[in-house]
Amino acid sequence: MTELLRVATAGSVDDGKSTLIGRLLYDTKSLFSDQLAAVERTSRERGDGYVDLALLTDGLRAEREQGITIDVAYRYFATPRRSFILADTPGHVQYTRNMVTGASTADLALLLVDARKGVLEQTRRHAFLASLLRVPHMVLCVNKMDLVDFDREVFEKIKEDFRRFATKLEIVDVTTIPISALSGDNVVSRSPSTPWYDGSSLLHHLEELHIASDRNLIDVRFPVQWVVRPRTDELHDYRGYAGQVAGGVLKPGDDVIVLPSGLSTRVAGIDSFDGPISEAFPPMSVTVRLEDDLDVSRGDMIARPNNQPTVGQDLQLMVSWMADAPLRRRARIGIKHTTRSVRAMVTDVSYRVDIDTLHRDESVETLGLNDIGRIALRTTSPLCYDPYRRNRTTGSVLLIDESTGATLGAGMIL
């Protein structure tokens, strides 16, 4: 089975994010003939002088009329070396919440910059959000190089401008590539138009990127999603606990503890869809059998006795607020953390981050739509969590409207 890489595009409006994804799909022959024919027909009807590959992801009528991306669009393709999920996220400020949604599970952020405009405010905003979401890898694609005659000085200036800004953020792996998404230069193969560039093409970089070490294979974290009791004649006494491994490596015979109860036992076996396996690690979905019949239910977490997550009710969060109504102190909301759902109250709104300057505004009392800020919560029952910087799964929460079930925001535990 080929390894999966999750990629999210980011950048300002009209920097060519949708066109780049369309170019990747087209050049890797990941399109059906009817899809390409539909795009060619629409391009002709609109009077475009070329095949607009951005139409492959911008499917909403409003997106095609305005030539922008509004909602997150996911596209899938594969090469012999790797499978990919591409999230095309919007560049407009008012759709920042959509960008957060697309990048929250990404392994890599493709940050596009228009070579004519350089690093803009929205470029910095999306770079900050990718850093906040702990996306481990970033590729700065200096797009539309054909419009500046593939000038090396333009490329080097943008690369240096972004490097200076990135030093303020926790971005450890940044690769810069000069491309033209419209004509395909340096997208799938090296372009003769940039003889001064000695790096790889974008697709080659995506195929060769090492991501296995990005996962936390030290801290065993297994949130229980479902208790499996078949009660059939063949499996009359079978009891297993299904879920997705969030961290560490689990093996039969390991000493484990069930939280929040604190009961200890050992792993009797691990079953997958294909049968028993010798170990489980992120992001595998498995069923864990324990040697003792314990009271374990959905929302509990299995960990190692000497390496446990924090169990508590008071949380400090960085929050991306996604609702029209502002977030206020003493607001009552629902919390979804791994497989556990609890109620909570906002005990403090500490500050809002000015994304343009990265300064903290401690005078605010509320967080509005698309704001990023720090808050404190008190939950009605304990959660088993890790800091987000250590584990993106056990360190993240969703803030939910209890009356409607709508998502209000995404939180990262500090």
Query: Average pLDDT of 357-372?
Result: 91
Taking the C-alpha atoms of residue 91 and residue 70, their distance in angstroms, rounded to an integer, is 8
**Model confidence at 67: pLDDT above 50:** no
**Per-residue pLDDT, 62:** 40
User: Residue 91: its pLDDT value, please?
Assistant: 56
Q: What is the predicted pLDDT for the residue at 93? A: 63
Residue that the structure tokens 């303020």 belong to: 168
* Number of alpha carbons in the 13 Å side-chain half-sphere of residue 378: 6
- Distance, CA of 126 to chain centre: 13
- The class that CATH gives domain 310-413 is mainly beta
pLDDT over threshold 70, residue 56:
no
CATH class of 3-214: alpha beta
The answer to whether the CB of 54 falls within 8 A of the CB of 13 is no
pLDDT tens-digit map of 301-314:
999 999 999 999 99
The pLDDT assigned to 104 comes to 87
Give the residue carrying structure tokens 């208790």. 227
Tens digits of per-residue pLDDT, 89-120?
A: 765 666 677 778 888 889 999 999 999 999 98
Q: For residue 164, give the nearest of 123, 206, 195 by alpha carbon.
A: 123
**Residue 45 clears pLDDT 80, i.e. is over it:** no
Assess contact for 159 and 130: CB atoms under 8 A.
no
Which is more confidently placed, 269 or 69?
A: 269
Q: Which CATH class is domain 222-303?
A: mainly beta
Residue 63: predicted pLDDT: 39
pLDDT digits (tens, 9 = 90+) for 172-224: 789 999 999 888 999 999 999 999 999 999 999 999 999 888 889 999 999 99
Domain ranges of the chain: 3-214, 222-303, 310-413
Residue with tokens 């987000």: 388
Whether the predicted pLDDT of 11 surpasses 90: no
C-alpha–C-alpha distance, residues 32 and 51, integer Å: 15
Tokens (6 digits) for 44: 């002709």
CA distances from 205 to 100, 199, 200, 237 (A): 24, 9, 6, 50
Contacts for 89-93: CB closer than 8 Å, 24+ residues apart: 89/8, 89/9, 89/10, 89/17, 91/10, 91/11, 91/12, 91/13, 91/14, 91/15, 91/17, 91/122, 91/126, 92/13, 92/68, 92/122, 93/122, 93/125, 93/370
Tell me how far apart the alpha carbons of residues 150 and 194 are, in angstroms, rounded to a whole number. 6
Mean pLDDT along residues 313-338: 95
pLDDT for 50: 61
Which long-range contacts (C-beta less than 8 Å, at least 24 apart) are formed by 342-346?
A: 342/379, 342/380, 342/381, 342/383, 343/379, 343/380, 343/402, 344/315, 344/377, 344/378, 344/379, 344/380, 345/377, 345/378, 346/375, 346/376, 346/377
* Cα torsion 396, 402, 406, 408: sign: negative
Instruction: Give pLDDT, residue 352.
Output: 95
Closest CA to 224 of 192, 248, 246: 246
Burial class (CB in 10 A: 0-12, 13-18, 19+), 368: middle
Q: What local confidence, expressed as pLDDT, does residue 405 receive?
A: 92
pTM summary value: 0.84
Assigned token pair, 173: 């792996």
Looking at per-residue confidence, does 10 or 55 come out higher?
A: 10
Residue 150 has pLDDT above 50, yes or no: yes
pLDDT at 279: 96
Same fold, 222-303 and 310-413: yes
Residue whose C-alpha is closest to residue 7's, from 147, 117, 103, 127: 103
* pLDDT over threshold 70, residue 60: no
What length is written for the chain? 414
Q: What is the mean pLDDT of the chain?
A: 88
CA distance 271 to 240: 9
pLDDT digits (tens, 9 = 90+) for 77-91: 888 899 999 887 765
